[in-house]
A and B are shown apart, each in its own frame.
Chain A
């Protein structure tokens, strides 16, 4: 059986993955500034995509200063020593360039898409360097944006989709940096000096990874990487994040007048370089990652009509990012839907996928790998992940190969060791507005 599977998958690999990946040549080096760089040269379109990642996500902000990482990133273009926010926005627009900046848990990312024509490209890169290296964080803009962030937060706090995410993060991670939620108090406590200090400490060349994809030469890419990081403090690699502790299984209910209950079930899961990475990701495809063909979709949506959306996924991060199962269903049937999810998960952990299911998962992941890389934008995302997390340069080739070699036993074993019902937390927000009787539909 196993030998047959291997042959079959070897055929699949030969068929698509190798062809799709043949063109992806990631060149990596360390710039003279100390920044790490990854570059993919592709001349099919006259565009350049750049992403600079810093270890400056929300996990690196002090506990009492939640919101600091996000503001530091989003206010990069609030003004520099030379230009105010409007002049910056106008200049990017006049160049036809697109700028973006924001913070996730691990990373703060700054992105630029520009035409590759030298005039536009050089000017856009210069402007990006100015924004990264010389943000002024003007006091007035800082105060205005902090007030807007507070107002936005208050609005979000009326929405069950936001409330369930926040409660889930706190329940799964407790005091760990991954569990911290921005609050009105934490935003109010922030000062412009905090932002300046956070930028100085975390937006350093040593903590930077520059990804470049597009229509330019290696020499031009080298110059861009230096240009973007030359004015930054050299800095040091950031301190390691603590490993999240597992919490006891709990069920948390938050009342809310929404018709639907928003449900999240999960626990700390995967790191980016986790030895169980492929077994868990491939297994999860069968459980709840494979869209319409997953077990959860079949049981919850197709068989019972309980939900429009039901899914599970691992979010690999620097230290264990969350594994989660999510769904939304009308309040009165939430308990029934959750029971179906629990049964489905329990059975999957006990038995693992069937050979047929695992083969289907391999087929999807291996055959579809090329589709993940068929545009510069998609490629940039992967290059950024590989570079920022220090994955092997041939990770895009390793990935389908490793998946194709998995066995049912390996997947089941990984789930049994890593998805632990004794540590799964369940958060349920809303559904209290569901007051009409279910299935009261007349004239069916």
Chain B
């Protein structure tokens, strides 16, 4: 699910990033990487990170990383779009925007200004499962960040005027990310089709029709109901002393009163009784297909072996440049322009296993779909090779080491696990889970979870851009 978390800014200084190889044609490659990164974590045996719980119920996790005088400070709320009800889709994300509009004592935009002034960066993101806020600042500024973040946990000023402007910003965000992106529309449709009952059926950013009708009171109610210390986790990673952070947390967040949280209905998806197919028509050149199957979510890290086997399956298909989908479908058979697979299994709600692809020149979408399923069938009958298994495990271990280079990456790991009911304490178990997967385990999950009747398939039928323009006579008068 992490693929669709919504970052709310563009990087101002992001121009010196390393370059990723683009030849593999792996649209889901990020999921593959994330799945491994999320799963693999076994630091050298030491007390780090450190955890405590404040009297008001707020969970606090601190990881000391003394390499540079820098710190990441994050607060994760256990409230995401899956906690929304029909008609107010997108309200979790709208509230996230409103959280920057000031409190009783801090003016609108003032928090941003303070962070910027000390040389930091800040932002927030909303997903199906949670909403999170972060600042990365020089380590000596941590106390100030905690004071400000604790303040807006219970003293937000949410005015009608600010809401009226910000809801338009959110609609522009939806236009940018979804309305004008053919493949984003496909993914939205895929979730809406795969889930008939579960709130994952609704997009995190909300349906435009719901955004059109949203009121300031919807946002206020969301804030009242979910923003409380007993529904939040504080994560601090960087050049800090954990005892000092615990004390600061008690004197800031510890002063915010706990609240009675709303009931969280557990929604079970009803059984699927046959393949579900739908079509999205939107301006594009290439057709495109996305497929999903219901698969398990990790609940007990010590026991849920299928989750680890499915993670390995996704990595064998699409976990590195020469993995099966790009090797077979893009390079050898040349049936696909791009081909990908992804599975996370780390979520509050139900999990899906995804595949997707676009046809190579001269090939059809039906051929791509058949070829994707064909790669699954091959594993169902022949299994995977030991060297593929070893390769995936090697990468998992290396990813774990590489992740330690980024304070933000480490904080995301800790917070992401907490947000789905797991813990950083599970990291070693999660890595062990991957290590224990055998070739037979992979073959077995491939056989058990990928029946045709369980598929949801969405295809993109491209509308030629030129033809679309011809159908819109109003255009010419405006230009």
Residues in chain A within 8 A of chain B (CB atoms): 15-16, 19-20, 23, 44-47, 51, 74-75, 77-78, 85-86, 88-90, 92-102, 109, 111, 113, 115, 141, 144-145, 147-148, 150-152, 154-155, 157-160, 253, 255-260, 289-293, 298, 301-309, 311, 313, 315, 328-331, 360, 363-378, 380-382, 384-385, 430, 432-433, 435, 440-444
Contact yes or no, A444 B164, CB < 8 A:
yes
7 other A-B residue contacts (CB within 8 Å) besides A85-B322, A293-B109:
A96-B394, A145-B23, A151-B286, A154-B286, A291-B121, A309-B176, A373-B68
Contact yes or no, B138 A260, CB < 8 A:
no
Contact yes or no, A257 B283, CB < 8 A:
yes
- Of A115, A159, A291, A370, which one neighbours B9 at CB under 8 angstroms? A291
Residues in A whose Cβ lies below 8 Å from that of B138: 16, 20, 367-368, 370-371
Q: How far is the CB of A102 from chain B (nearest CB, A)?
A: 4
Contact yes or no, A155 B168, CB < 8 A:
no
Contact yes or no, B119 A258, CB < 8 A:
no
Contact yes or no, B395 A360, CB < 8 A:
no
State A258–B394 Cα separation when bound (angstroms).
44
- Which of A86, A289, A385 has its CB near the most chain B CB atoms (within 10 A)? A86
Instruction: Evaluate whether A360 and B119 lie within 8 angstroms (CB atoms) in the complex, with A51-B18, A257-B469, A305-B166 already known.
Output: no
Closest to A51 in B: B18
State A311–B15 Cα separation when bound (angstroms).
14
Residues in A whose Cβ lies below 8 Å from that of B176: 260, 308-309, 328
Contact yes or no, A44 B285, CB < 8 A:
no
Q: How far is the CB of A195 from chain B (nearest CB, A)?
A: 14
Interface size range on B against A: 35 or more
Q: Mark B29-61, 1 if CB is under 8 A from A, else 0.
A: 000000000000000000000000000000000
State A148–B19 Cα separation when bound (angstroms).
19
- Of B100, B171, B402, which one neighbours A98 at CB under 8 angstroms? B402
Number of inter-chain CB pairs below 8 Å: 278
Instruction: Evaluate whether A253 and B18 lie within 8 angstroms (CB atoms) in the complex, with A74-B23, A89-B321, A370-B68 already known.
Output: no
Residues in B whose Cβ lies below 8 Å from that of A368: 118-121, 138
Q: Does B212 contact A (CB under 8 A)?
A: yes
Q: How far is the CB of A343 from chain B (nearest CB, A)?
A: 18
Contact yes or no, A259 B180, CB < 8 A:
yes
Q: Does B136 contact A (CB under 8 A)?
A: yes
State A381–B14 Cα separation when bound (angstroms).
10
Q: Pick out which of these stretches binds chain A: B76-84, B126-134, B259-267, B470-478.
A: B470-478
Contact yes or no, A371 B136, CB < 8 A:
yes
Contact yes or no, A147 B16, CB < 8 A:
no
Q: How far is the CB of B63 from chain A (nearest CB, A)?
A: 14
Residues in B whose Cβ lies below 8 Å from that of A289: 12
Q: Mark B166-190, 1 if CB is under 8 A from A, else 0.
A: 1111111101100111100000000
Instruction: Evaluate whether A16 and B331 lie within 8 angstroms (CB atoms) in the complex, with A77-B23, A113-B402, A115-B401 already known.
Output: no
Residues in B whose Cβ lies below 8 Å from that of A255: 469, 475-476, 479
Jot down 26 A-B pairs with beta carbons below 8 A, ordered by A.
A16-B138, A47-B405, A77-B21, A78-B23, A86-B327, A89-B24, A93-B395, A94-B387, A95-B394, A97-B398, A100-B19, A115-B398, A152-B337, A154-B286, A290-B12, A292-B113, A293-B116, A305-B167, A308-B172, A364-B117, A371-B138, A374-B68, A375-B406, A441-B213, A442-B213, A443-B213
Residues in chain B within 8 A of chain A (CB atoms): 9-10, 12-13, 15-25, 67-70, 100, 108-109, 112-113, 116-122, 136-138, 140, 164-173, 175-176, 179-182, 212-213, 215, 283-286, 320-322, 327, 330-331, 334, 337, 358, 360-361, 387, 390-391, 394-395, 397-398, 401-402, 404-407, 462-463, 465, 468-469, 472, 474-476, 478-479
State A255–B479 Cα separation when bound (angstroms).
8
Residues in A whose Cβ lies below 8 Å from that of B137: 371
- Of A95, A293, A363, A443, which one neighbours B112 at CB under 8 angstroms? A293
Residues in A whose Cβ lies below 8 Å from that of B10: 309, 311
Contact yes or no, B465 A360, CB < 8 A:
no
Residues in B whose Cβ lies below 8 Å from that of A74: 21-23
State A74–B21 Cα separation when bound (angstroms).
7
Closest to B180 in A: A258
Residues in B whose Cβ lies below 8 Å from that of A155: 284-286, 358
Q: How far is the CB of A373 from chain B (nearest CB, A)?
A: 7
State A376–B69 Cα separation when bound (angstroms).
14
Residues in A whose Cβ lies below 8 Å from that of B18: 51, 100, 109, 111, 113, 377, 380-381
State A377–B68 Cα separation when bound (angstroms).
13
State A291–B478 Cα separation when bound (angstroms).
32
State A432–B391 Cα separation when bound (angstroms).
49
State A270–B10 Cα separation when bound (angstroms).
21
Which 8 interchain pairs have the tightest Cβ spacing? A368-B119, A89-B322, A96-B398, A367-B119, A381-B16, A305-B168, A374-B68, A102-B19
Residues in B whose Cβ lies below 8 Å from that of A328: 172, 175-176
State A239–B40 Cα separation when bound (angstroms).
48
Residues in B whose Cβ lies below 8 Å from that of A51: 18
Residues in A whose Cβ lies below 8 Å from that of B172: 260, 305-308, 328-330
Contact yes or no, B117 A441, CB < 8 A:
no
Contact yes or no, A432 B472, CB < 8 A:
yes
State A407–B398 Cα separation when bound (angstroms).
48
State A306–B69 Cα separation when bound (angstroms).
38
Q: How far is the CB of B204 from chain A (nearest CB, A)?
A: 15
Instruction: Evaluate whether A253 and B23 lie within 8 angstroms (CB atoms) in the complex, with A155-B284, A371-B137 already known.
Output: no
Residues in B whose Cβ lies below 8 Å from that of A433: 180, 468, 472
Contact yes or no, B331 A144, CB < 8 A:
yes
Residues in B whose Cβ lies below 8 Å from that of A313: 12
Residues in B whose Cβ lies below 8 Å from that of A257: 283, 463, 465, 468-469, 472
Contact yes or no, A45 B119, CB < 8 A:
no
Q: How far is the CB of A238 from chain B (nearest CB, A)?
A: 20
Contact yes or no, B475 A292, CB < 8 A:
no
Closest to A258 in B: B180
Q: How far is the CB of A440 from chain B (nearest CB, A)?
A: 8
Contact yes or no, A442 B286, CB < 8 A:
no
Closest to A71 in B: B23
State A328–B181 Cα separation when bound (angstroms).
13
Closest to A440 in B: B212
Q: How far is the CB of B374 from chain A (nearest CB, A)?
A: 19
Closest to B18 in A: A111
Residues in A whose Cβ lies below 8 Å from that of B17: 381
Closest to B23 in A: A74
Closest to B406 in A: A375
Q: How far is the CB of B155 from chain A (nearest CB, A)?
A: 20
Closest to B19 in A: A102
Residues in B whose Cβ lies below 8 Å from that of A259: 175, 179-180
Contact yes or no, B405 A45, CB < 8 A:
yes
State A379–B447 Cα separation when bound (angstroms).
46
